[in-house]
Amino acid sequence: MQNIRNIAIIAHVDHGKTTLVDKIIHATNIFRENQESGELIMDNNDLERERGITILSKNISVTYKDTKINVIDTPGHADFGGEVERVLKMADGVILLVDAFEGPMPQTRFVLHKALELGLKPIVVINKVDKPNCRPEEVHDQVFDLFFNLDATEEQLDFPTFYGSSKQGWFNTSLEPAADITPLLDGILKYVPESKVQEGNLQMQITSLDYSSFLGRIAIGKITRGSISENQWIGLAQEGGKIVKGKVKELYVFEGLGKKKVQEVQAGDICAVVGFDAFQIGDSFVDFENPEPMPRTAIDEPTLNMTFSINNSPFFGKDGKYVTSNHLKERLEKELEKNLALRVQQTDDANTFLVFGRGILHLSVLIETMRREGYEMTIGQPQVILREIDGEKMEPYESMVVDVPEEYASRVIDLATQRKGDLHIMETKGEMQHLEFEIPSRGLIGLRSQMLTATAGEAIMAHRFSEYKPFKGAIPGRSNGVLIAKNQGQGTAYSIEKLQDRGRFFVDPGEEVYAGMIVGEQNKPGDLVVNIVEGKQLNNMRAAGKDKDGNIAPKIQMSLEECMEYIQADEAIEVTPNFIRMRKKILAEEDRKRAERMAKSE
């Protein structure tokens, strides 16, 4: 049998996981000498490359000193925690990567807690020691305290530590720069245990899935007991204790960045099984004659929900390929198969679905992926999920960490406390102030953009779900009203220039608008309906070419997440492959006024 080590790399977002995986790939010569590879090799999804984050966990395998190392690159963002929780089951050890300046962050705590619970052997890697103001020794002490607070065993507390820089391509057991990353690779062989092979009948839990248009659905997981061969008849243990018999058509193991077809896989290795279609993540492959299913993974509950409905604006169907409620339903059901932290619920309206997720980023990545695939839809305001526990109304709370230059700290504290946040820790880290808050999840919606504005873009903010606590009362929403288009047509420079003293615009001259669409933000509270499609009346005295186009301020560009955080309960976002437009749910002005009067009378 081949020597195998299964290791997951966990870290807070932006601490350098994917760059470290790049270095491991290069150090073990997966690529030929003359082969172009680029950077961030594992982030092969367009969205991941654009945002610079890992969204989907991925497997690669490298061979070092005759030992096969299966490396699992995991997401670092709290919204994708469901992805991390399940893939850790394939690992026997974890590399905990920590930034030498920032130290352990909220997400570090979350993923480390899951890894320690599973009894995985940790290796701590303190990255970016080449950064100015870094404090590796202090960060090492903080990591030790974190392990201690998470009830690590004595064996886990005795973790090996490596220092270095993924970017510069070296790691060492001391702060002395090494020639390359071989000390870390040697450390993996030394400290990560070989995969525990148990005696008994076949057991393999499905922890992630893949899809191929040729092979269909592919189940991926680690074999904990027994072995699987091609053409073997095995059982699939589903939820509710049902066992389905099926035949293994093809079998693959990970090799380099791809997969290699094999005849048989032994316990301890990670493999991909083809031949079953009706499986879900969490099911397990077992011996059909003597089935012993594995316990299913429990995933943390969602904390936000949003309505997804068909696009019913006047521009319906102009831009997208998939526009009906059936298209929407099928796509959301397909997403449920692999996105464990997601839930979908049908509402009373056949064209509207309630989608539950882990956070704004989790849901916005789904929406962004769908619009790139050609879907059109209307998205409602994100709502936090409230619960009733022992007769008391409870809401989700998050622990939020903000690192900000000292001169902006008071603004950050002010913004957080307005949104019912409580400051627990305030300390100085180099030139930065480190602030830790406990804040209701509702208070986070729209907070990031406000905080970046107030701190000239300097604030670094991270948060993660902590627990449900008593409801804290109303939180102030957006203070300014919006400018709403009165008529359909093309915005004109003449009208926009005349209305600039009323607010800031989200559209440029020449853009198509429709009645009820939000075209800007007013300077004061309350909504204002404006006519931005009115052209200049031409007569003998007025020439067409004398408009003062140069005086128009450029429009405010808003990303999908910023729009999601900006809209109020009576507003929605129209999402199509090429456009993101904010609008009122009720487009006609008269109908909006009637609805307001009815709401007041109730």
* Residue 18 marked as a ligand binder: yes
- C-beta neighbour count of 155 within 10 angstroms: 10
Nearest 10 degrees: CA dihedral of 583, 584, 590, 591? 130
* Residue 16 marked as a ligand binder: yes
- 320/313 Cα distance (integer angstroms): 13
CATH top-level class for 482-601? mainly beta
Tokens 């790939």 found at: 25
In the CATH scheme, what architecture does the domain 203-286 have? Beta Barrel (2.40)
Residue 96's nearest CA partner among 37, 196, 9 is 9
Determine the pLDDT at residue 479. 80
Write the CB contacts of 289 (distance below 8 Å, at least 6 apart in sequence).
none
Paired residues of 198 in beta bridges? 225
Tokens 């936090």 found at: 384
pLDDT in tens, 257-276: 777 888 888 888 888 888 88
Determine the pLDDT at residue 300. 64
Determine the pLDDT at residue 69. 86
Determine the pLDDT at residue 539. 63
- 550/398 Cα distance (integer angstroms): 46
User: Positive or negative, the Cα torsion across 234, 236, 237, 242?
Assistant: negative
User: Positive or negative, the Cα torsion across 269, 275, 279, 283?
Assistant: negative
- CB 82, CB 341: distance < 8 Å: yes
Tokens for 341?
């932290």
Domain boundaries, the chain: 3-191, 203-286, 387-470, 482-601
Determine the pLDDT at residue 49. 42
Q: What is the phi/psi pair of residue 137, to 5°? A: -65, -40
User: Topology of domain 387-470, per CATH?
Assistant: Alpha-Beta Plaits (3.30.70)
What's the CATH superfamily of 3-191? P-loop containing nucleotide triphosphate hydrolases (3.40.50.300)
Tokens for 355?
């989608």
* Residue 14 marked as a ligand binder: yes
* Residue 127 marked as a ligand binder: yes
* Residue 384 marked as a ligand binder: no
pLDDT in tens, 408-441: 999 999 999 988 999 998 988 777 788 889 999 8
* Residue 362 marked as a ligand binder: no
β-pairing, 580-584 vs 528-530, is unpaired
Tokens for 502?
């009323």
* Residue 173 marked as a ligand binder: no
pLDDT in tens, 136-145: 888 899 899 8
Residue 209's nearest CA partner among 201, 200, 218, 199 is 218
> pLDDT under 70 in the chain at which residues?
1-2, 13-15, 17, 29-58, 75-83, 106-107, 213, 297-300, 338, 340, 538-550
pLDDT in tens, 71-115: 887 765 555 555 677 778 888 888 888 888 888 876 677 778 878
DSSP annotation of 90: G
Confirm whether pTM is higher than 0.75: no
- 18/72 Cα distance (integer angstroms): 10
Tokens 């307005």 found at: 418
DSSP annotation of 524: S
